[in-house]
Every structure is written in C-alpha cells, then in structure tokens.
Structure 1
Amino acid sequence: MTLPGARGAALVEWISGLALGRIGEAPGDDHEEMAAATAEFARSAAEHPVFTAPPAGPPASPSAGPSAGPAAAPADAGRTPAVEDIVVTTPTAYHLLRFVEAPYEGGLFLHLWLDRGHANLALSLLRMRELAHKLVLA
C-alpha cells in the first residue's frame, strides 16, 4: 500500500474466488464481490488456450499440419498459469493481477487497485512481481 496511487489490494484464490487477505478499499466497497469477480476474470484468462504458453522445443514445420507436435496444455490448477500478469485500465483506475505459485491445488493471484491519476504503472508492476516472488505459501 506504499505505492503511489494504491487504493486496495487482495490475495485471491482463483478457483473459489475467496479473498484470503485484503487491505485498503475495494471497488464497490465489497472485497468479497471484488474477489469473486476478479477470480472469474483471472481464471478465464489463465485457462484460455489463446494465452497458454506454447510447448518447449522447436516449432512444428508449417507443412506438417495441425497434428504435428503436442498442443499447449491448459494451465494446471495447482501451478502458476502461463499468464503472469493481467493489466486492466479504466478511465480512473488500474487493476493489476499477478499470479502466484501455490503449493496446493488452486491458484492464487494478487490484485492491486490503483488510482490512475496518481499511480506509476511500470513501478507498480515491478513491485507486484517482487512481492509475488517473495511471498511464501506453506
């Protein structure tokens, strides 16, 4: 909450939509509603085939056709999804979502709500990444 423009933050379990921790304000003044809505959005992005990472290794040759090589696997529910960050901008705010690796089934993400007029988007993304990296879940 020491970031310029920070209005609120939450640690959300993205399968159930529960806020495991929260601080500051929530859009609409309801942390639980915000957690459920952002979890649905985050889960949709994390599981969508458009956003999954391609498999490691050399790319399939274009002439080999659609059956060449394995398809990108959907995100595993107990691991960090292929999506790392989601940034949503509105006329008045930034919403930053950063996925966090969890040692159990069900993923987590940090949600930071920023006042667009006072926030530094690049700095906020860097700090979110640092925080997520330092976060230890047992």
Structure 2
Amino acid sequence: MPGIDECLLETMTLPGALGASLVDWSSGLALGTMGDSPVGDHETTAAETAELARSAAEFDSFTAVGDGLHDEPAVEDLIVTTRAGYHVLRFVQTSFDSSVFLHVWLDRDSGNLALARMRLRDIAERLVLG
C-alpha cells in the first residue's frame, strides 16, 4: 500500500496536475507536497485550503446525511473552480480519527475534473498513513 510520497507522485500524473499536497485540516499543515503551489508557497496553500476543508467538514449544511446511520464524514470532496484552474480536495478516511485531505491543483485547460475525482478517490482509499 502506498505512502504519502507515492500517492502524491500518482496524483501528479493526473492530466493538468500542477501541484498536489496532503494536508491535515485540523492544524493546516502540509504532510507532503509535490509540484507547484498557486501562491508559490505550499504551507500557505495548505493553511488556506485547510480553512475551506474545515468549514465544509464542520458546518451542518454540508454534513447532514439525513438518516443518522453514517459514522463517516458526509463530505467526500470539494471542488473550487477559478479562471485559471481547478482545486479538488478529497477527504481521506483512516483507521484513526483523521482530518486529512488530498489536494490537487489542476490547469483549467488540460485538467479533467471527473477523472481527477475518480482517481483521487482511489488514491485516498489506498493511502497508508502511519
């Protein structure tokens, strides 16, 4: 099973991938990074994307699943589109109480959102943290 570096390398093979990171949204720290950052600094990007992830994971409007039977977070991923690119944040389920997500920054012209979502889901399911 792949670790952080292997998962980030695989993420960077996505069409249009400009940068990737694994971020702890409770602390805002990048656990691993690869490629470029939209602001030139991976730590700033990690802190900013962590704020977005934390909001989505904690606000009732996004977390309500309706049946009360689900233990896992209701939010699977977040997509932010900009004029120049796409940001996809995929929450990672772990065996411990995790607050981790994969973030990929894609070029708008060459990126593929549908493919990125599917591949990030698969990468996140295989990721081994420890």
Same fold (TM over 0.5): yes
Provide the rounded CA distance (Å) in 2 between the counterparts of 1:102 and 1:33: 25
Q: Tell whether 2:109 aligns with 1:97.
A: no
Q: Which residue is equivalent to 2:13?
A: 2
Structure 2: gaps (5+ residues): 1-11
Find the partner of 1:107 among 83, 95, 99. Answer: 99
Q: Tell whether 2:56 aligns with 1:35.
A: no
Find the partner of 1:119 among 111, 119, 123. Answer: 111
> Root-mean-square deviation (CA), in Å?
1.7
On the 8 A contact 2:23/2:50 being kept in 1, the answer is yes
What letter is aligned with 2:62? F
User: How many residue pairs align between the two structures?
Assistant: 118
- Secondary structure, counterpart of 1:28 in structure 2: coil
The correspondence of residues 1-138 of structure 1 with structure 2, limited to 5 A, is 1-52=12-63, 53-56=65-68, 80-138=72-130
Q: What's the CA shift for 1:41?
A: 0.7
- Secondary structure, counterpart of 1:102 in structure 2: coil
Taking every aligned residue pair, what percent have the same amino acid on both sides? 56
Provide the rounded CA distance (Å) in 2 between the counterparts of 1:123 and 1:105: 28
On the 8 A contact 2:77/2:88 being kept in 1, the answer is yes
Structure 1: gaps (5+ residues): 58-72, 74-78
Higher Rg of the two aligned structures: 1
Q: 1:85 to 1:18 in 2, by over 3 A?
A: same
Q: Which residue is equivalent to 1:65?
A: none
